[in-house]
Structure 1
Amino acid sequence: MEIVIPNRLATLGHPQRLALFRLLMRRYPDRVPATELAQALALKPNTLSTYVNALMQAGLVTQERVGTSRRYAIDMNAARETFDYLLHECCRGRPEMCSPLGTKEPAKKDHKYNVLFICTGNSARSIFAEAILRKEAGDRFAAYSAGTQPRSKPNPYALEVLAQKGHDTSVLEAKALSVFQGDEAPDFDFVFTVCNQAANEECPAWTGQPVSAHWGMPDPVKVEGSDAEKSLAFQHSYGALLNRIKAFTALPIASLDRIALQKAIDDIALKNEGTIA
C-alpha cells in the first residue's frame, strides 16, 4: 500500500491523465469506448492509449473488449481506497481540513430534495426526467432540468409522449445550465447527467456538494426513420427514465449514508433497462 498509493497519486499528477480519470469518473458506471474518450479529450489514439495504460498500470482503470472495441471504466474500489488513504493521512488531528470534501449527508426529515437533470439539448431526456419526477413524487422532490447546449424548445415528439402519459407540459421549457449557476439558484441535493455528451463535458462545481450520478442513454432525437419509428424511440427513452426514477424515489434516502446512497444510485443505471411504459 505504501508504494501503490504514491504511484497512483503520481499517475494522476499528469494533467491529461487526470482529465481522463475525471471524465471516466463522470461517466461511471459506463464502460466508455476508446474512440469516444479520444474525441471528448481531443487526443490522438496513440496518446490516449499511453494515458489509459498508465492509469491501468496504477490500478485505477479497467479495460473490457467488446468485439474489436476497447472500453474503459473507473475501478471505483481502487479510487476510493486511494483517496480514503490520502484523506485519512491528511486529517489526523485536523478533521476540519478534510471533512467538507465528502462527508455531507443529504438533508433529512421533511426536507424537499432539489434534483437537477442535465443533457445537451434539454429537449427530450432531461425534460422527460423532470416531468416524471414531478409527477411521481412532487411532494418530496423539486425537479429541474437544463442543457449544456439547450435547444430553443422541447422536442415535439417528447411533448407528445408526455401529454399521452398525462403530464402537464405547459411548465416545461428548454433552459441553459447557466440558469442554475447564479446566486438565486437552488442548492441541489442530486445532479444527474442523462446523456453521455453532457457527462463528457466539464460541469460546474455545485454548491452544497450534491450527490451526482450518470444515467446515460441513447438520444431519441437522433433516431431516423418514419414518424412511428421516431415516436417509438421517445417511448423507449421515457420508459427507461420512468424505471430509473421509480427506483430512485423508492430509496430510503433519509436512512442511507452518503456512500450507500451513491452506490444505490449508481446501481440504478446498471439494473434498470428501458421499456415502453
Structure 2
Amino acid sequence: MNSTSSLSSPMDGSHREAIAIHGFGSLAQPTRLAAVRHLLAVHPQSLPAGEIARLCKVPHNTMSTHLGILSRAGLISAEKDGRSMNYRADVTGFRGLLKFLSQDCCHGRPELCGDAFDLPSQIIAVEPTETFMKPAFNVLFLCTQNSARSIIAEALLEKIGRGRFRGYSAGSNPAKEPVPEVIERLAALGHDVSHLHSKSWDEFKGPDAPRMDFIIALCDSPNGQFCPDFGNQFVTGAWPLPDPAQFTGSPTERTTLLNELYAMIRRRIEIFTSLPFDSLDRMAVKARLDEIGDTTRVSP
C-alpha cells in the first residue's frame, strides 16, 4: 500500500507514518513540487507528460521518472490517451497528507497550526464544475526557423489565451536561438520570455508530446517559404507573415517593422481566441482560420 489516499483508511500508526513520509518525501524535490503545482493549477483537468516537462523545463525522460514517483505516492493519477499519458492531481492524496498533519502530528488539535489548513482545505474541496471542465486548446505555431514569428505568436497566445489556450512553437529548420531583438521586444512588452527557445517540430511528433488541437503555419509562402504538411490529422491554418530575418535598414526601422509584425500577430490571435468554437464544426473552424490569415482582411 503506497498511496497517501490510504491515510484516510484505518491502520496502525507506524503504517500511517510510513505512507505520510513517502508522500511528503515525494514532494521534497523542486521538479516534483513544480509538477504538482502545475497540475493543481489546472485541476480537475489533466496535462500530458510532455506539457508538464515543458512547464518544468526538464527532459521528457527525466520528467517521466518524477511523475512515476508522484504517482506511486498517490499524489497524481495517470490515464492513457492514445499514445500519450495524461496526469491529474489526486486531491484525495493531498487530503490524506493534511489529515495526517492535523490528526497525527497535532494530536487532533489543528488549531496548533493556526490557519495553515484553512486555505488548502477550501481549494482542495472544490468539486469539478462545468466551467472547470472546459478543455484548453493546444495551438502549435510553425515557421521556418522558429526564431521570430512563431515565437511571438506563442508568447502572445499564452498571454491573450488566459488559460483557455496553450501556445507552442516550432520550426521546420530551427535556428540555434530566437532573434535577440524579438526576445528583447517581447520582454519589454511584458511577456514571460524565460521558456522561449527555438526547436524542431519533430519534438511534437513523439508519444509524450502534447496533443495539438490546431496547427497554424506562419511561413511567408508568397515569398517561397514553406512549412511541413500535417495532412488532415489536425485543424490547420495558414497565416503567411514576413520574416524578420529579412528586415533591413537602421535599428529604428527594424524596430518599427517588428512592432508592426507584433501588431499583426496580436490582431489575428485576438480574432482566433474570440471564435465561437462551441458552435463551429471542424470545416467551419478551418475556414475561419484561413480567413484570419488573409492579409486583405486583417491589418495591424
Pair in the same fold by TM > 0.5: yes
Counterpart of 2:251, as a letter, is D
Instruction: Report how far residue 195 of structure 1 moved.
Output: 1.1
Indicate the residue corresponding to 2:139 in structure 1: 115
Indicate the residue corresponding to 1:203 in structure 2: 229
Matched-pair contact (CA < 8 Å) for 2:244–2:258: yes
Indicate the residue corresponding to 2:261 in structure 1: 237
Indicate the residue corresponding to 1:168 in structure 2: 192
Instruction: Report how far residue 201 of structure 1 moved.
Output: 4.3
Whether 1:129 and 2:147 are equivalent positions in the alignment is: no
Matched-pair contact (CA < 8 Å) for 2:146–2:174: yes
Whether 1:218 and 2:242 are equivalent positions in the alignment is: yes
Indicate the residue corresponding to 1:138 in structure 2: 162
Indicate the residue corresponding to 1:264 in structure 2: 288
Alignment of structure 1 residues 4-43 onto 2, 5 Å: none
Matched-pair contact (CA < 8 Å) for 1:119–1:193: yes
Instruction: Report how far residue 111 of structure 1 moved.
Output: 1.2
Aligned-partner Cα distance in 1 for 2:249–2:228 = 33
**For 1:116, what is the secondary structure of its paired residue?**
strand
| Larger relative contact order, structure 1 or 2 (CA cutoff 8 Å, min sep 6) | 1
**For 2:199, what is the secondary structure of its paired residue?**
coil
Alignment counterpart, residue 193 of structure 1, candidates 186, 199, 217:
217
**For 1:200, what is the secondary structure of its paired residue?**
coil
**For 1:254, what is the secondary structure of its paired residue?**
helix
TM-score (norm 1): 0.56
Matched-pair contact (CA < 8 Å) for 1:119–1:195: yes
The structure having more radius of gyration, on CA atoms, is 2
Matched-pair contact (CA < 8 Å) for 2:155–2:167: yes
Aligned-partner Cα distance in 2 for 1:201–1:121 = 10
Aligned-partner Cα distance in 1 for 2:180–2:277 = 34
Question: What is the total number of aligned residue pairs between the two structures?
Answer: 164
**For 2:216, what is the secondary structure of its paired residue?**
strand
Alignment of structure 1 residues 66-85 onto 2, 5 Å: none
TM-score (norm 2): 0.52
Alignment of structure 1 residues 140-155 onto 2, 5 Å: 140-155=164-179
Counterpart of 1:140, as a letter, is R
Whether 1:255 and 2:285 are equivalent positions in the alignment is: no
Indicate the residue corresponding to 1:54 in structure 2: none
Aligned-partner Cα distance in 2 for 1:199–1:258 = 26
Indicate the residue corresponding to 2:208 in structure 1: 184
Matched-pair contact (CA < 8 Å) for 1:199–1:214: no
**1:226-276 Cα distance to aligned partner (Å, 9 max, x none):** 111111111111110000000000001122111221221111112211x3x
Counterpart of 2:298, as a letter, is N
**1:111-139 Cα distance to aligned partner (Å, 9 max, x none):** 11110000011010000000000000131
Instruction: Report how far residue 166 of structure 1 moved.
Output: 0.6
Matched-pair contact (CA < 8 Å) for 2:220–2:240: yes
Matched-pair contact (CA < 8 Å) for 1:248–1:268: yes
Matched-pair contact (CA < 8 Å) for 2:144–2:227: no
Aligned-partner Cα distance in 1 for 2:199–2:163 = 23
Flag the 1:189–1:219 CA change in 2: closer, same or farther, 3 A.
Answer: same
Matched-pair contact (CA < 8 Å) for 1:126–1:194: yes
Indicate the residue corresponding to 2:270 in structure 1: 246
Instruction: Report how far residue 220 of structure 1 moved.
Output: 1.6
Matched-pair contact (CA < 8 Å) for 1:193–1:199: no
Flag the 1:216–1:153 CA change in 2: closer, same or farther, 3 A.
Answer: same
Matched-pair contact (CA < 8 Å) for 1:124–1:154: yes
